[in-house]
Structure 1
Amino acid sequence: MGPAWLWLLGAGIAASAHGDKSPAVAPALSSQLSEPAPAYLKVTPTITSFALRLYKRLAADTAGNLLFSPVSMASTLAMLSLGARPDAPAQVLEGLGFNLTETPEADVHQGFQSLIRTLQLPSPKLELKLGNSLFLDQQLKPRQHFLDSARELYGAFAFSANFTDSTSTGRQINDYVRTQTYGRVQDCLQDFHHDTLAVLLNHIFFKGTWAHPFDPQSTEEKSFYVDDTTTVMVPMMFQSSTVKYLHDPVLPCRLVQLDYVGNGTAFFILPDKGKVDTVIAALSRDTIQRWSKSLTYRLVHLYIPKASISGAYELRGALAAMGIADLFTNQANFSSISQEGPLKVSKVLHKAVLQLDEHGGVEVAATGGPLQLVSEPLTLNFNRPFLILIFDDFTWSSLFLGKVVIPA
């Protein structure tokens, strides 16, 4: 039997949903540190660093819109490492950025287990659905230990599939993803290699409620300047409210932090004209932490496009360049998944969708905290390419990273 193919899929959907008068109620990370540190803190900083490294690489290769879910990708790869031979898990986890001397492999998996379970805890007015699944060919005889570990640590459900019938199996997987993401992510899987034996899939669905809602009646068609020669008309949402704002003294950008009711928060970053690449190149965990500490409450006239953007990627090249290379060669050995083989990864596919809208009431409520009102409001108009980073601010894990070049 020749090399058999193992596919990794990631699918995500983020949507801003109905506005509400309630303030954001996400607990600050600092308040958690007075108690015993939860296990997810062993992995979330590394996931964020991995996210930003991958973000920079994808941004360099993507001229248009960019969107992906770091939590989705990282958890899928970490789950895959459970099935690798003794030396391969180290390459996968170290490629994600883990120092296995400081954080042993078992602690990494327990951290992901804690993260996945925490993200799925009920949250008021915020829906976050994260799941893993395994589609295994009916001729494959998986090892029970791998199935048990994947189920216990990553909540992964296993399904039997017939990959010799690529049409029906493709429909089975696509229907599953479409159902799990409420119809938003469709056709994430197109064609199989004829030797495909397994697909590892992660899906994530995020639907939040703005703490500061936008008034739909204030949305108007306005110009969006894609570049020096291209202008498109887009529906531009508007609100005048007190929000967390920063004119960065270090990087050429301005930004606001918009909270969701519950545990979600989003950074909207507007680079100076022509400085998108400069800002992306400087992104790091330290940058985000500095922003979080430096933001102050200001009265802002805020304009953000009402848009739906998506991203679809084959990440094999990007991951190989980041140090996770043997998965795609004959050096790979996933004998812990099945004794059949050799197995190696053929494709790492990822698709994400982000919907920004203003649904909700007309009235606006300020979030809690020391408000600093100014007599003259600032105007911040996202009418040129901008960046968006969405975090769960309970675990401080990166849910979605995006670059909006052409709002659709």
Structure 2
Amino acid sequence: MPSSVTWGLLLLAGLCCLAPATLDEDAIQSASHKFMLNLADTAFSLYHQLVGPSNTTNIFFSPVSIATAFAMLSLGAEGTTRTELLEGLHLYWKEVPEAAIYTGLLNLLHTINEPDSEPWLITGNILFANLSVKFKDEFLKYVWELRHSDVFCLRFRDAKARSKVNDFIEMKIQEQDLDLFEEFDKDTTLVLVDYIVFEGLLEVKFEAETYVSEAFHVDKKTMKRIFMFRRSGQFELLHDEALSSWVLLQHYRGLGPTFLILPDAGKMQHLEAEVSQEHLTRIFHSMAARSASVYLPKVYISGTYDLKATLGGMGITKVFNDGAELSGISEGQPLKLSKALHEARLIIDEIVMDRSGARPSGKHRSNLLTVKFNRPFLVILMDKNFNIPLFLGKMVKPW
């Protein structure tokens, strides 16, 4: 049976070149589409790992970016290492051909990396490897085709290794003073950095009437006054009883719908436990415009995660251990993934002041439904083609 790397190379060479008896292109495309829908399970599984015991930390990540990064690694994995990667990320089912996994991921990555797309999106992977690692040519070719991943070789024991790694990441993300790595231990051989940065452009700008100082309640004991933008008008807004939450729908260029989900007071844990792909689909189809006065903080949210601990909670451990089966990546010495980091950032700066002067009167505004995003809320940005969470986060401290 062909290795996983060979499968990837065959796909990239063109599915039409494969014998019909071995692989049917229509069947692969159909199966890969069904498989992509299950990435929603990956999104919420990752969220539950990241939310942890803390209720005072912002969360923001891209489940698609993480899944594709480790699907890439699975191409060089064998045995239980590979099985853990695919099953832990909900990427493997007996009824779905293996090739459908990579076809689906390739299709998704193509749609979010279209060169003419309007949103500003930076996404990719970097593999940092010790100079002693001898990569296999077929693995390097595939990781470039899948995600245009960079491979950077250095001596981790050198005193300047840390600054070289941080400088390279800053250059790729176009951000200064990240300082993501403090040090490397003497056994470090392979480090994966997965990154994605999105600067959103609303299809219709949020034209605020004014901005006001409002109390943002992180929890019952923590409050801080922040500036919030206020607008009265028509919004895609509803209160969902099943989630005990207000849901505001927004639309960014190049993406599917974005859900801002504000739980009722004291209902965040209920929302986190109940929200699912099915809820989002139902809410989207039942949404209608209504008049309201909405208060929103400026949205800038980021997250940096050590994925070893996160994925360990999902049953993915062997790739990080001495027994890792990564013979498809390198020749010679045994190899394991020493560190894996995910960096995600969201910047929304499409709120402008309404200078038209056409504002509701005080009496009219007082009769409007008022929804204030003045306590922690969820942010879910959907992919436009597969309608799965591309980003998922929780805004706890909008400052």
TM-score, with length taken from structure 2: 0.83
The structural deviation recorded for 1:331 is 3.1
Counterpart position of 2:394: 403
Structure 2: distance between partners of 1:95 and 1:392: 22
The Cα offsets for residues 255-308 of structure 1, whole Å up to 9 and x where unpaired, read as 111111332532110101011010000122111111211211122211111243
Which of 65-74 and 130-139 deviates more?
Answer: 130-139
Change (3 A) 1:256 1:287: same
Q: Does the residue aligned with 1:344 lie in a helix, a strand or coil?
A: coil
Equivalent of residue 372 in structure 2, options 367, 378, 381: 381
Equivalent of residue 159 in structure 1, options 148, 152, 166: 152
The structural deviation recorded for 1:219 is 2.1
Q: Is the 8 A contact 2:203 2:253 kept in 1?
A: yes
Change (3 A) 1:223 1:356: farther
Counterpart position of 2:53: 61
Q: Which amino acid aligns with 1:74?
A: A
Which of 354-363 and 139-148 deviates more?
Answer: 354-363
Q: Is the 8 A contact 2:248 2:259 kept in 1?
A: yes
Q: Is the 8 A contact 2:209 2:230 kept in 1?
A: no
Q: Is the 8 A contact 1:214 1:237 kept in 2?
A: no
Which of 54-63 and 177-186 deviates more?
Answer: 177-186
Q: Is the 8 A contact 1:88 1:332 kept in 2?
A: yes
The Cα offsets for residues 14-71 of structure 1, whole Å up to 9 and x where unpaired, read as xxxxxxxxxxxxxxxxxxxxxx968863543222211101112222333222222212
Equivalent of residue 147 in structure 1, options 137, 140, 146: 140
Q: Is the 8 A contact 2:201 2:349 kept in 1?
A: no
Structure 2: distance between partners of 1:336 and 1:363: 60
Structure 2: distance between partners of 1:345 and 1:249: 44
Identity across aligned pairs (percent)?
Answer: 35
Counterpart position of 1:275: 267
Instruction: Determine if the alignment matches structure 1 residue 327 to structure 2 residue 309.
Output: no
- Bigger RCO of structures 1 and 2 (CA < 8 A, at least 6 apart): 1
Counterpart position of 2:89: 96
Q: Does the residue aligned with 2:295 lie in a helix, a strand or coil?
A: strand
Query: Structure 1: where are the runs of 5+ without partners?
Result: 1-35, 365-374
Q: Is the 8 A contact 2:201 2:350 kept in 1?
A: no
Structure 1: distance between partners of 2:381 and 2:116: 16
Counterpart position of 1:339: 331
Change (3 A) 1:184 1:261: farther
The structural deviation recorded for 1:147 is 0.8
The structural deviation recorded for 1:81 is 0.8
**Greater Cα radius of gyration, structure 1 or 2:** 2
Change (3 A) 1:352 1:71: same
The structural deviation recorded for 1:376 is 5.6
TM-score, with length taken from structure 1: 0.81
Match runs of 1:53-132 below 5 Å: 53-64=45-56, 65-123=58-116, 125-132=118-125
What's the C-alpha RMSD, in Å, of the aligned pairs? 2.6
Counterpart position of 2:250: 258
Structure 2: distance between partners of 1:77 and 1:269: 29
Which of 355-364 and 120-129 deviates more?
Answer: 355-364
The Cα offsets for residues 363-393 of structure 1, whole Å up to 9 and x where unpaired, read as 79xxxxxxxxxx9642211011111111222
Q: Does the residue aligned with 2:121 lie in a helix, a strand or coil?
A: strand
Q: Does the residue aligned with 2:236 lie in a helix, a strand or coil?
A: strand
The Cα offsets for residues 105-151 of structure 1, whole Å up to 9 and x where unpaired, read as 22212221221122111455312232223222222111111111212
Structure 1: distance between partners of 2:226 and 2:176: 21
Q: Which amino acid aligns with 1:380?
A: V
Q: Is the 8 A contact 2:298 2:349 kept in 1?
A: yes
Q: Which amino acid aligns with 2:140?
A: L
Which of 345-354 and 381-390 deviates more?
Answer: 345-354
Q: Is the 8 A contact 1:310 1:353 kept in 2?
A: yes
Q: How many pairs were matched up?
A: 363
The structural deviation recorded for 1:185 is 7.8
Q: Is the 8 A contact 1:268 1:388 kept in 2?
A: yes
The Cα offsets for residues 230-260 of structure 1, whole Å up to 9 and x where unpaired, read as 2201110222232221210222111111111
Q: Is the 8 A contact 2:227 2:297 kept in 1?
A: yes
Q: Is the 8 A contact 1:84 1:333 kept in 2?
A: yes
Equivalent of residue 189 in structure 2, options 173, 189, 197: 197
Counterpart position of 1:17: none
The structural deviation recorded for 1:80 is 1.1
